[in-house]
Amino acid sequence: MPGQVIKQISDTWSVLTEEGIIECKARGKFRNKNESPIVGDKVIVDIDNHVINEILPRKNALTRPVVANVDIALIVTSVKKPDLSLSLLDKQLVVIKSNNITPVICLTKLDLLSKNEKKEVKMVMRYYESIGIKVLDNNHLFKLKRYLNKKLIVLTGQTGAGKSSLLNKIGKDLNIDTNPISEALNRGVHTTRHTEIYQIGKIRFIDTPGFSALDLTGINKEVLRDNYPEFNKYKCSFNDCFHEKEKGCEVRSALERKEILVSRYDNYIRFLNECNESSSKLYK
């Protein structure tokens, strides 16, 4: 019978089928192939023996968090406690877009900002909207829910950004554990212990363990560059320009004209160096 994995705890997968939720183990053949079902996978299960027999082809997948067949990645982004990290946000956007998933930024804790801080954040977010990234916030739930309707959403963002709190706000009967922010560390405490799909009305959310860092494993320099959409409208002198030190680079000219957000470009150069370091280690 077909179904979809909605939760994994250790070596047990909860699969939603037309006959309800079935707790399953995975066939040994997956281990032999070094494969494993993940949350979001569409699978074929043996309902009599409670075994996953087959993993159907995935339309996309992320490795951190480990999820599949996602429609939208909702990047829950705190602007205060923990402070807004544009470096983390830009890295998340690259990873998500390179995996053919639509990113949406959801700002949280806007009420903690001063008037001037809020103005600055709005200016920065207008830039992200100008390059095609949808930006919402957790204070306008109706607008948020309407945009996410009938979609499978993965929530991602640094620990303490408010992912579980957002789920509790949308689905008032969920009662997902939340913990306060550590004042000393300016970050949250992990509250999500496993990956699980929650159904809230016609929206399905994947809640995942929080994290505060991402790496660019599997992303090369070309993929990184091509997932900076604002670069694509500029025609450099060289088709393979990486917008770093090359002559005739129109992207750097646009940066000087302040057409490109400085933090975006600075993060790009930092990520480019990460890709170079990964490539160097791979071929040593």
Output the tens digit of pLDDT for each of the chain's 284 residues.
999 999 999 999 999 999 999 999 999 999 899 999 999 999 999 999 999 999 999 999 988 778 999 999 999 999 999 999 999 999 999 999 999 999 999 999 999 999 999 999 999 999 999 999 999 999 999 999 999 999 999 888 887 888 888 888 888 766 555 544 333 334 444 445 678 898 888 999 887 665 445 678 889 999 999 999 999 999 999 999 999 999 999 999 999 999 999 999 999 999 999 998 876 553 33
Same-domain pairing of 144 and 26: no
Same-domain pairing of 40 and 100: no
CB atoms within 10 A of CB 250: 15
Q: Is residue 215 part of a domain?
A: no
Same-domain pairing of 141 and 271: no
Q: Is residue 216 part of a domain?
A: no
pLDDT confidence of residue 136: 97
Q: Is residue 37 part of a domain?
A: yes
pTM for this structure?
0.84
Q: Is residue 8 part of a domain?
A: yes
Same-domain pairing of 105 and 138: yes
pLDDT confidence of residue 282: 39
- Considering 17, 33, 57, which residue would you say is the last residue of a domain? 57
pLDDT confidence of residue 231: 97
Q: Is residue 214 part of a domain?
A: no
Same-domain pairing of 95 and 118: yes
Same-domain pairing of 73 and 187: yes
Same-domain pairing of 121 and 197: yes
Query: What does each C-alpha distance from 163 to 12, 56, 66, 138, 155 come to in angstroms?
Result: 24, 29, 16, 10, 7
CATH code at position 179: 3.40.50.300
Same-domain pairing of 127 and 173: yes
pLDDT confidence of residue 168: 85
Q: Is residue 213 part of a domain?
A: no
- Considering 18, 39, 57, which residue would you say is the last residue of a domain? 57
- Considering 207, 232, 255, which residue would you say is the last residue of a domain? 207
CATH code at position 278: 1.10.40.50
Same-domain pairing of 85 and 160: yes
Name the residue range of residue 225's domain: 221-282
CATH code at position 11: 2.40.50.140
Residues 6+ apart with CB under 8 A from 263: 86, 87, 90, 124
CB burial of residue 51 (10 Å; 0-12, 13-18, 19+): middle
Per the structure, the count of domains in the chain is: 3
Same-domain pairing of 66 and 201: yes
Same-domain pairing of 150 and 257: no
Label each residue of the chain as H, E or C: CEEEEEEEECCEEEEEECCEEEEEEECHHHHHCCCCCCECCEEEEECCCCEEEEECCCCCEEECCEEECCCEEEEEEECCCCCCCHHHHHHHHHHHHHCCCEEEEEEECHHHCCHHHHHHHHHHHHHHHHCCCEEEECCCHHHHHHHHCCCEEEEECCCCCCHHHHHHHHCCCCCCCCCCCECCCCECCCCCCCEEEEEECCEEEEECCCCCCCCCCCCCHHHHHHCCHHHCCCCCCCCCCCCCCCCCCHHHHHHHCCCCCHHHHHHHHHHHHHHHHHHHHHCC
